[in-house]
Each structure stands twice: as structure tokens, then as C-alpha cells.
Amino acid sequence: MDAISVIRTKRDRGELTPEQIDWVIDAYTRGEVADEQMSALAMAILLNGMNRTEIARWTAAMIASGERMDFAALSRPTTDKHSTGGVGDKITLPLAPLVAACGAAVPQLSGRGLGHTGGTLDKLESIPGWRAHLSNEEMLSVLEGTGAVICAAGDGLAPADKKLYALRDVTGTVEAIPLIASSIMSKKIAEGTGALVLDVKVGSGAFMKTIDDARELASTMVALGTDSGVRTVALLTDMSTPLGLTAGNALEVRESVEVLAGGGPRDVIDLTLALAREMLDAAGLKDADPEKALADGSAMDVWRRMISAQGGDPDAELPVAREQHVVTARSSGVLTRLDAYGVGVAAWRLGAGRARKEDPVQAGAGIEMHAKPGDSVTAGQPLLTLHTDTPEKFEYALKALPDACDIAPAGTEFTPTPVVRERIA
């Protein structure tokens, strides 16, 4: 085997053989295939695609590059959720303890934010003392003791994907659906969960901008999970508008705690419950009632135990940014659009996100939203509050927002987009 022949096969729209796929993933992981060669292959895959057989073999080869976890010793059935990323997407935070409160074990291996989409680990690290990195033994201990764990994936889990993901991010090949699907599913299958629910975002603030692309990605991932013996279902969910009323790390933790306390924005509650029902159903716990567990405080109890088990203080004050800037409505009427991408870019520029994986983030940076599409607004009322420790960032962040809001005349009828748009199983 050699890298050039593999690249030429896909460049010329051919089908990669199982042997070619196994070799190139293994050789790249070992450093025998250079970054520039894998970049060329990734671009050929972006342009020419892969069929289901190729994607399945590519995913299996990435799984084989590292270890596989085993949760068979747990006393509960395992179920997990993965989101493709969005703006204000704090759903994992209330969801994991909620599902655990209903009797499942939730081994939630999460990531960090990059660009305009937030990262679950960055959000939780705004809690004083909380740590993302656990050994496999610690992860199992927290799972058995609390029912839920949210942590970083270990270095031994699909190392080929870790190396390829970093390469895709700097070579313009992040959007390749076969590579997105295999990246997500290699980690989730290697993780060893018994059931998986995929939250595939669609809209301006998502990587998948159209419903057709989101449907293709969801269908591909569901097939990969099913073929590997993992009960898998996907929900296509709206990301044209940010989720909830906050985008930013500590801001989103506060909002998540509000949801666990029985309050919080309606869209966050609705999506949390929809995903919880899917996760519990996939785990064989069809009679569990997540709405009751949210209302009676049992989900909050699991949250507190989960945060404490990872060194965090659930009662600690969360960081607050030193500076704020208020954006007001330019006219009176009905807010008909609040663009998720514009809000996400602004929050990122304020310090809530990173341009490179090694960049630090500001725990208190981000955006509060004081109105959502469908709300009536008056000229001069606050629409957004921007938070940062570095006020020189306000000007750059504001450049992302001039076209992020539309206000129609008073009395304009507004029909909201459902939070859950489709289900694929």
C-alpha cells in the first residue's frame, strides 16, 4: 500500500477497498502517512463522498486504532447523547442528571468549543474545582455512584480520530459528511454505550445548514450505530435561533441549574425532555417519567452529586464578567429573527470560545438574550447584554450582530419553528 494510490482512488471517484482504508488509517496514526497526504485524501472525500460500506469500514478502522470501553459491570443500562453543536446548546448539563435520575447510566464523553459553537467541558469548567479529565476507573466509579458522568474522552479512545479531527479543522474539510459521521460514531461506539441518541442541529448556527444535509448526516450515523449493535436514533433539531436565553460558559451553567430547579426557558426544557424520553426508551426504561424527575428535584440531586464527584462545588458562585454592554431594539414591533450564527460569533469574539484548541476561554464571557422570536419589543429596550473581561472586544463582537435581529411591525403574525423537526431511526 502507498498513500498516493489511495488518494488517487478517491480523487478519481473510485471506491476505497477495506484494505486501503485499514492501511491508511493505521499508517496515518503511526505517522507513516504525512499530514499533507491525509489532507489531500480528506479533500477528495469531501468532494467525492463515500458509500455506506466505505464509511462503515473507515469508522471501524478508527475504532481499532485505540481502546474500547466496557460498561457491562454497571448495575444500570447505559445510554448516551451526542449533539453536533450549536449556540446556547447547554442541553447536556440538565439532560445527563435527569436521565440518571430515571434509572439509566449516562457516560457522557464531551468536547470543547471551537469557533462559534460552545463546548460542554468549557461550560462545566466555569464551576470552581470541577475537572474534566478522569481515568477510566474514576469514570466508572462516578457512573456507578451517581448514574451520570460528563468528562473528556481519554487519549486511548479512537486516537486516529483525534489526529484527523485536528487536521480537518485546519484544511477546510470539517463539513465532509462521511468524516463527520465516522468521527462522531467511532468515539461513541468505542465508548461502549448500549444506546445512543443523536441531536443533529440544523440551521444558521449549526454545521448542517439545510434539512437535507442534516437528514443525510443523521441517517448515516444511525446506520453506523445500528450496524455496530448500538441502539441509535436521531432527532433533527432547530439551530436557526440560539437555545435558551444565554450563550457563554458560566451563563449557560446558571441557566441549566434553573432548568434543574424547575424553571428555565421553554425551548431548553422541551428539548431536554424530548431527548430524555428517547434515551430512556432506547435504554429499555419506557415507563420512566423524566418530567416528574425534573419537577420533584431528583434530577437536581443527581447534578449536585455528579459535580461534587468530579471535584466541583455545586454551591460556589460562578464567574461573572467584569464588563457589560447592552444592545437595544432599534424599533418597536415583533422580533421575528434572532440569528444563531451571529450570536454565536459575537459570543466567541467576546472570549467565550476559541479559534484554536489551545486557546483559553473566559468563563464569564458571552451573551444574554432578553427577547426571543415571537416576543413584542419596544424601541430602546434591551435585546442583548454582552459580557466580557476585556472591553476592547466589544467593538469586534458587535460587528457580528447588526444583521442578527429582524423586527417586524406590531401585530405581525409569527409562527415559530419547532425545536424538534424530525426523528430518524
Q: What is the pLDDT of residues 126-158, one digit of tens each?
A: 999 999 999 999 999 999 999 999 999 888 889
Asked if pLDDT for residue 386 goes beyond 90, the answer is yes
CATH 3.90.1170.30 boundaries in the chain: 323-408
The rounded mean pLDDT for the chain is 95
pLDDT of residue 112: 84
CATH 1.20.970.10 boundaries in the chain: 3-49
- Could you give phi then psi for residue 167, rounded to 5 degrees? -70, -45
pLDDT of residue 398: 98
The three three-digit cell numbers of residue 405, written as one number: 435581529
* β-sheet bridge partners, residue 386: 325, 367
Which stretches of 194-230 are assigned E, i.e. beta strand? 195-202
Average pLDDT over residues 394-408: 96
CB within 8 A of 108, min separation 6: which ones? 80, 81, 92, 96, 120, 148, 149, 150, 151
Percent of the chain topping pLDDT 70: 100
Which stretches of 239-332 are assigned E, i.e. beta strand? 246-248, 323-328
Q: What is the pLDDT of residues 317-355, one digit of tens each?
A: 999 999 999 999 999 999 999 999 999 999 999 999 887
Asked if pLDDT for residue 114 goes beyond 80, the answer is no
Confidence of residue 298 (pLDDT cuts 50, 70, 90): very high
The helix (run of H) or strand (run of E) holding residue 391 is none
Strand bridging mode 382-388 / 420-424: unpaired
CA distance 206 to 371: 21
Strand bridging mode 80-83 / 195-202: parallel
Q: What is the pLDDT of residues 174-226, one digit of tens each?
A: 889 999 999 999 999 999 999 999 999 999 999 899 999 999 999 999 999 99
Q: What is the pLDDT of residues 248-295, one digit of tens each?
A: 999 999 999 999 999 999 999 999 999 999 999 999 999 999 999 999
Sign of CA dihedral 115, 354, 401, 202: positive
CATH 3.40.50.1860 fits 80-153+192-309, yes or no: no
Q: Which residues are catalytic?
A: 82, 161, 168, 183, 187
The answer to whether the beta carbons of residues 90 and 264 sit under 8 Å apart is: no
CATH 3.40.1030.10 boundaries in the chain: 80-153+192-309
DSSP label at residue 181: H
CATH 3.90.1170.30 fits 323-408, yes or no: yes
Enter the CATH code of domain 3-49.
1.20.970.10
pLDDT of residue 358: 72
